Structure formats: structure tokens, C-alpha cells
Chain A
Amino acid sequence: MSNPGVRIIIDKQIAGKSFRIEDNIGEAIHIHWGEFRIDLTIREFYKLAEDMLLLADKMLKSFGLDVYALDPVYLNEQGHDLGMLERVEIDDVALEELLTEFYHPDGCIYLDSIRYSRISKAFCGDKRELMDRKQYNLGGQNNEERMWNIYDSIKEHGYPYRGGYIILHNDGYYIRDGCHRASCLYQLYGNITVPVMRLYLRGDSSDKMVCKIFEQKRKWCMVERDIALLFVSTIIPSMLKGKKVVIRGAGETTRELLKLWKGKVDIKAIIAKENKGIGADYEFIEVEEAVRRKYDCIIVASKLYRNEMVAELEEYKGKIEVMDLYEVLFEHNIDTGANFYDYYVNVWT
């Protein structure tokens, strides 16, 4: 039987086997592990969860860890690590040192300071990354509501509230739990030093590796991104001076260019299959029309699709100049690794 009302509560690998808990609305809770399936009523499932929490609390109390003070989302996602717990320490850390992860559309995961977290960006008005992020929220909140609830809670109750520390593993700075709290604290008070809880886990070297690579790449990438922005906003407009320009692409790169080049570059139109939020300020035309109107240059403005776009424009060679934005950056030894306007440090790929 197929139930369209299936909510996936957990979907992960445990001991090399797929572990999945599904809420089949109206039907049953299914716990799948490898070839096994257990069907429970909701009441039985809650009882099982309560008993497991009680057991975990008894086991971890001797290490000084109160399981009930931990965020259920953290327990859900990383609770299995607690079996390796050796000791717990409270440390003081400056907020900007704390790292959080980014999921880039190219499939890579990046780490960077919470100064640039999706939540910090949302506080500055750019909510795209926050709202696009798939995350577990409690009580039917959406991502933005969760952000503001935590912000209000910190304003009202301070930090840490009821033992709810930001959690780091070992000597690392990658936030395992508390990205929202860290970003809200940063928004409220700037780069202050806050107490964090370090869970020392046996055999967990992931943080050391992450931080080592991160430290090497971080400084390089900060400079690189600033140079890229400077280059795109000043040097390229000077290269395009006096030219009638059309932009190929209607994605984020184009939107950033339209902002950066306003009043600097004579943008006549956009070449794209659909208008993805560019608005009505620019005309959408075909390549042939750009050639017919004798425009001077087509800017290829996409990191992901640039190869396809350049190939597509090959047949117009000699009729209109084609400038591949990222190729120009690359030719000037600026390899952003991601979109030029993003600030990502690729540490895992």
C-alpha cells in the first residue's frame, strides 16, 4: 500500500545499514533498519524515545553531561557520537572563530565563520540560503520563525539558557549544535567571547582535519573573494566602457552583476530562457537579436552553466564579442572556487 502522507523522521546509515524512521500519517510509525521493519503506534514510539533518552541520560551523567539540556535536533543528528564521549569542558571562544557549514548548489559542503552564516546573512536581508536550507525545526516553525524565536529567547533569557551551550567537538571550532544561537548572539552583540561546551570524543579526528585545512585556506580565500569582487565591480566595467552589453543568464550571478554594474556598464538586455526574478527593468532577447542590434558584447554570467553557454555562443564568433566572466577572472589568476560573490571555503572536496 502506498501512503502519500509519509514523513521521514530520520534517514541515515547505522553500522553500514540504512536506518529510517517514517511517520505514515494515520497508519503507523515504521522503523526500518536494513531488512528489518518494526511497526509502532505513536504512543509506543514516544515511550521508546523516552526510555532511550532516560538511558542516555543515566549513561552520560557521570561525564557531567545533562542530556535533557541538549537540543533534540542535535541528539537526532549527532547523538550517536556521544557513545565516544570521554570528557566535557566549558571553553571561551570569540564568536567569529566559530564555523558553520554551507551547502553549495554544486553539491560541495563548505565551512566558514558564523559571520557569514545563512542566519547572519538573513539578518542582513538575504534570506535565500536560510529559507532554502532543509532542516528539522520544532513545533511546525519555518526556518525564519525559528531564527527569530531563538533571537527573542536570547534577548529575554540570555545565553546559555538552561544549560543550552553551543557545542563543539574536541578542540575544533565547527559548531555541532548552536549555529542559530551563535549567529543570533553575533547579531545582537558582535564578536564577543562566549562560553561553549566542548565534547571530547574518543577517536574523532574529523575536527582536527577540518580545521587544519580550513586554516590554510581561510586567509587565502578571504583575500581571493575580496579581489574577485573588486575586479568584477571596477576592472571589468572599465574593460566594457563604451560597449553595449547583453548578459547571458538570469541566475544569481546576473542579479549580482546588475547590482554591481548599475550606472557603470551599459547593459542593454538579458539573454535567457526565462526571467528568474530579474524583474521588468531589462528586456529579454535572443542572441540573434543582440547581433542584429549590433550590440558589442555578451557576458556569460553563470558559474555552473558557463561551458554550455560558451559552446552555444560559438556560432556567433566574429559577429559579437563573448566574454566569459569566470574565464576572465581565471585568466587574471583569480579562482574563486565558487560564485564570485559568495564567500565559501571549500574544505571537503
Chain B
Amino acid sequence: MNWIDEQVINRFFQKLNINNINYVLIKNIGNELPKQLKYGKDIDILLDYRHDESCSRCMKEMGFVDIVHPQSEENGWQMLYGVHNPKMKKILDSLEVDIHYELAVQSIQKCQWCPLDKIINQRAWNYKQWDTVLNCWKMDEKTLIVYLIARCVFDKENFSDAYKNEINGRENLLDDDEVVEMLEKVFYRYTPYLIHQIKMHEYDTIIKRYLAFDRY
């Protein structure tokens, strides 16, 4: 198996940290980072838009180059509600970094990025946590579970085993008021049904039932 060099990943985070770049690692599915990130897979980071220039400079110094983001305005995507155009940078034909400035998901209208509600985005910044293994900033668990669920429904249109494991591992958070409040900002009146389905591990029917939901 071809893994991306761990050193490249470590150096990347180190560089952002040294330069006080305000970022958050959005997710680390299956703890792929730092040792088991396959070639072709990328790192998703949430970047404070005010730090875009300094981050670009740091990454350029490391040898990163801009590549066209597959889901960007350059490829005909529409940015809803003021979402910033995402960027993608690549180094040495290996590590790709997918940079978003807001937590956003693809709208069901296709080719549109729709931001998650303000309270979710604010929480991602206010509660960011230090990852002592990766030496980087990561998203807090409550925001993360909301993001993972939203991503499966809207971006992936599927709950893969890797995502199911991540969500199941945080299942206890589904009773947390803050998590419920955040889920309601995405799924509205479908939220209680969604929580029930996740708790019952009925992942296969979530998207179908959500799209057919009519009790509102």
C-alpha cells in the first residue's frame, strides 16, 4: 500500500502552527493521519478566511502549488449564502489539502456549496481542540458528529462503513442538547427521526426517508 509520507503531513501542520495560522483539521476518518493516508486522499482543513494570504504564503514556501478544486467556481459550482470558494493545494504529487473557509455541504440541488448554520460554524472555531498526537487543531466532537452526519447525507449521499464507525463512536452525543440544536439547524423537523435512525443503526434508510419526509 502506498501511504503519503508522514513527515510531509507533520511538517505541514508544524508550519501552520509556527505561523499562527487559524485553522482546524475538519476530520480524520479512521485515524488515517498521520501514518495511513493513501495517495490520492486529501486533508480537509477549515481555514480562517482572514488567514488565507498568510496560509498560502506558508504553503508556497513548503512547495505547495494551487490546483483547481473539483468543486469550485472554476468548475461551475455555485457558492450559496456567501460561502467562500474552496481551494486545493498539492505538494510533490503527494499530499493534497482541501481548504474550506466555512463548514459547508453540497446542496441537494447539485453543484452548490451551502454553509452549515452560523451556530455550527461559530462552534467549530470557538471549541477547536488541540490534537496531541497530530500536533494540530482539530474540530470538537459535538461539531464533528453533526458535520459527519450532514456530509454523509448531502456530500456522500451514503453512509460508508468508515463514517458509520465514526458516528457510532460518538453516538452518546446524540442526546446532547447542543448537538440536537445543531442537527435541527440542518435537518429541521426530521431531526428526531434522524437521531432515532442513527441510534438504531438504520443507516441504509436515512437518506431515502429524509428525502421523502413530509411531516412539516
Contacts and interface: CB of A to CB of B under 8 A. Distances in A.
Interface of A: 1-8, 24-28, 41-42
B114 interface: yes
Given A25-B213, A42-B216, A4 B188 contact: no
19 contacts: A2-B80, A3-B188, A4-B107, A4-B116, A5-B107, A5-B154, A5-B186, A5-B210, A6-B107, A6-B114, A7-B109, A25-B187, A25-B188, A25-B213, A26-B188, A26-B216, A27-B216, A41-B216, A42-B214
B216 A5 contact: no
A7 B188 contact: no
B69 interface: no
Interface in B179-212: 185-191, 210-211
B109 A8 contact: yes
Given A8-B109, A24-B188, 17 more contacts: A2-B81, A2-B114, A2-B117, A3-B114, A3-B188, A4-B106, A4-B108, A4-B154, A5-B108, A5-B186, A5-B211, A6-B107, A26-B188, A26-B189, A26-B213, A27-B189, A27-B216
The 10 closest A-B pairs by CB, nearest first: A26-B188, A4-B114, A26-B190, A27-B188, A26-B189, A42-B214, A2-B81, A4-B107, A4-B105, A4-B154
B109 A6 contact: yes
Contacts of A4: 105-108, 114, 116, 150, 154, 186
Contact of A1 (B185, B189, B210): B185
A28 B190 CA distance: 12
Interface string B80-101: 1100000000000000000000
A241 to B, nearest CB: 40
Contacts of A7: 108-109
Given A4-B150, A4-B154, A5-B210, A25 B190 contact: yes
Nearest to B211: A25
A2 B106 CA distance: 12
A3 B109 CA distance: 11
The DSSP consensus for interface residues of chain A is loop
A121 B153 CA distance: 34
A2 B116 contact: yes
Contacts of A3: 114, 186, 188
A28 B191 CA distance: 14
A1 B191 CA distance: 16
B170 to A, nearest CB: 21
Contacts of A26: 187-191, 210, 213, 216
A284 B106 CA distance: 33
Contacts of A27: 188-189, 216
B210 A25 contact: yes
A42 B153 CA distance: 22
A247 B105 CA distance: 39
Nearest to B208: A140
A26 B195 CA distance: 14
Interface in B105-145: 105-109, 114-117
A26 B214 CA distance: 7
A41 B189 CA distance: 12
Interface in B20-70: none
Greatest chain B CB density within 10 A among A2, A4, A6 is at A4
B115 to A, nearest CB: 5
B187 A6 contact: no
Nearest to A25: B213
Contacts of A1: 117, 185
Nearest to B119: A1
B193 to A, nearest CB: 9
